[in-house]
Structures are given as C-alpha cells and as structure tokens.
Amino acid sequence: MDLATYFELLQLVQASVLAGAVLGVVGGLIGVFVMQRDMAFAVHGISELSFAGAAAALLLGVNVVAGSILGSLIAAAIIGLLGARARDRNSIIGVLMPFGLGLGILFLALYPGRSGNKFGLLTGQIVSVDFEQLGLLVGISVVVLAALLVIWRPLSFDSLDTEVAVAKGVPSRALALVFMVLLGLTVAVSVQVIGALLVLALLVTPAASALRVSASPVLVPVLAMIFGLVSAVGGILIALGGSLPISPYITSISFLIYVVCRLIEWRRQRSHARVKVAA
C-alpha cells in the first residue's frame, strides 16, 4: 500500500482515531486509581459483563454501545455495593466473570446474523463502529474525564487512607460508588475499541507503567495518559497499513512501554545502589 492510499484510509477512520485517542487518555487516567485501589481484577470482571450486555443488545437488535454500558453498570454496581472489602470483592468478581462471559457467548451463539461484531466484542472492532456510536463513545469518555478531575483530590485521599479521609469529611462510600460507575463507563467504551478480553491493556498497563518510573501525583497521571494515547492511536495507525486487527498492536505497544518503564526503573535502582555502595 502506498502513502496516498494510507492517507485515504486514514480519512475514513479519523473518527475512530479520535475515539481511540480520547479513550487512551481516560483509560490512562482512571488506571491510576485502578492501581491505587487494587481493582485490576474488577476491571476484568466488569468487562465480561459489559460483553454480555453488548452481545444481548446485538441479539435484540438494539444499540450495542448502550447494551455494553448497561452490562458494565450492573457489574460495577454489584461489585461496588457488595465488595467494599478487597476479599469479598475478589470473590464476587470471580463469580461474576465466567457468568458474564458465558451469557455473552450464549447470546452470540443465538445471534443469527453473520457480523464482524460477533468476535469484535471480545477482541476489538473500533473501525466497524459506526459514526453515531463513535460520537457516543467520545462523549462518555469526556464525561468520565471531567468527573474524574472533579473528584480527583478526595478520591486520592480516600484511596491512600480511607480512615483519615473519612475523619476529614470525605464521603468515602459515595465516592467509591461514583468511581465504580466511572470505571464501568470507561470499560464499556474500551470493550468497543479493544474488546472485552483486552480491556486491561488500556485501563491498567499505562498506569502500571507510569508508576514504575515516577511517584509524583502530577507526573504519574500525565505519563499514564500519554502511554494510553500512544498505545491506542499508535495501534490504530499501524493496523491501517496492514490486514491484521487493531487490538494486538494496541496491546503490544502498551506492553512494550511497560517493559521499557521497568528497565528504566531497574537501571535507576542499580545506579542508586552503586551510589550507596560508593558512599
């Protein structure tokens, strides 16, 4: 494919690139709290129910994004209400996850059409999402972004030390529920872009990478957003040039960034150790 054809293609998918970019940013940002609140497993659990919701919507012939959001929110609410403690939470997620995935597979099996959507829901399909739904995805991401900024400080406080935050008047329980809703929305968007099975690549890996190289409350979210953006947009742009799906590119870039961040951390620790020995 020559460059001219590539740019023609790019024109066609620019809305998808935009959606990927916005999700990369939001995923990186919310990932910082996913890590701090130890909720990577919850993200995975929510994504499977989101998949079930999307598959149900496909079967019923209604808006797939709406189905995905509904599934996400139900999962987020269940985990948020029943799983205040980490142990309870993990067992609830462990129970929900296969149930959601199984339901989703059932709905897909019942679905008579032959649609790219079928496996797209599990492994990503952004270029097959129509323009209207892309608008919905971007809109949701922007809402999540704004809400995260507003609750950023109290949520940081609560994530660090719930006891003291509550003593200072932070509404811990309400915040936890709001966070679960925001997480559910972000997961629903991610399912459309990268697929239910690969959501963690945009919601956990970028923040986990950033935390390897910094502890600054400003630098970590900024880096996580950049990592998410680079992974999502980079993956879409590279995939355009070939015939392979988008998701493996996104997951590989995001993983590569993580490896590089670990190497940087390792080198720093080694040089610190040398300084200490020298001193």
Partner 1 sequence: MTPALQITQGALGFGGRTLWRELDLSVRPGEFLAVLGSNGSGKTSLLRAILGLQPLDAGTIQIDGMPARRGNRAVGYIPQQKLVQPGTPLRGRDLVTLGVNGHRFGVPITSRAERAQVAALLESVGATAYADRPIGTLSGGEQQRLRVAQAIAADPVLLLCDEPLASLDLNRQAEVAGLIDERRREHDTAVVFVTHDINPVLGMVDRILYLAEGHFTVGTPDEVLRSEVLTALYGTPVEVLRSGGRIFVAGAPDHAHHQGEAL
What is the spatial distance between Cα 272 and Cα 275, in angstroms, rounded to a whole number? 5
With contacts defined by CB under 8 A, name the span among 17-25, 96-104, 126-134, 159-167 that binds partner 1: 159-167
Structure-token pair, residue 236: 């879409």
> Does residue number 62 form part of the binding site for partner 1 (CB under 8 A)?
no
- How far, rounded to the nearest angstrom, does the alpha carbon of residue 185 sit from its chain's CA centroid? 9
> Does residue number 160 form part of the binding site for partner 1 (CB under 8 A)?
yes
Say how many C-beta atoms besides its own lie within 10 A of residue 103's C-beta. 18
What is the spatial distance between Cα 176 and Cα 189, in angstroms, rounded to a whole number? 20
Which residue of 165, 185, 191, 200 would you call a contact of partner 1, by CB under 8 A? 165
- Cβ contact 176:20 at 8 Å: no
Question: What are the b/e assignments for 205-239, b being 16+ CB within 10 Å?
Answer: bbbbbbbbbbeeeeebbebbbbbbbbbbbbbbbbb
> Does residue number 263 form part of the binding site for partner 1 (CB under 8 A)?
no
Q: Which residue, 145 or 238, has its beta carbon nearer to partner 1?
A: 145
Residues from 31 through 50 that contact partner 1 (CB under 8 A): 32, 35-36
Which residue of 115, 123, 214, 252 would you call a contact of partner 1, by CB under 8 A? 214
33 Cβ contact partners less than 8 Å away, ≥ 6 residues apart: 39, 148, 155, 159, 179
Per-position x/- string for 78-97, each x denoting binding to partner 1 as judged by CB under 8 A, each - no binding:
--------------------
CA atoms within 13 A on the CB side of 166: 7
> Does residue number 157 form part of the binding site for partner 1 (CB under 8 A)?
yes
Residues from 172 through 201 that contact partner 1 (CB under 8 A): none
What is the spatial distance between Cα 260 and Cα 279, in angstroms, rounded to a whole number? 29
With contacts defined by CB under 8 A, name the span among 71-79, 155-163, 237-245, 254-262 that binds partner 1: 155-163
> Does residue number 272 form part of the binding site for partner 1 (CB under 8 A)?
no
> Does residue number 259 form part of the binding site for partner 1 (CB under 8 A)?
no
Structure-token pair, residue 81: 């209400």
CA neighbor of 209 nearest in space, from 198, 220, 217: 220
Residues from 112 through 131 that contact partner 1 (CB under 8 A): none
> Does residue number 220 form part of the binding site for partner 1 (CB under 8 A)?
yes
Q: Which residue, 39 or 101, has its beta carbon nearer to partner 1?
A: 39
> Does residue number 217 form part of the binding site for partner 1 (CB under 8 A)?
yes
> Does residue number 169 form part of the binding site for partner 1 (CB under 8 A)?
yes
**What is the contact surface with partner 1 in residues (CB under 8 A)?**
32, 35-36, 149-154, 156-157, 160-161, 163-170, 210-211, 214-217, 220-221
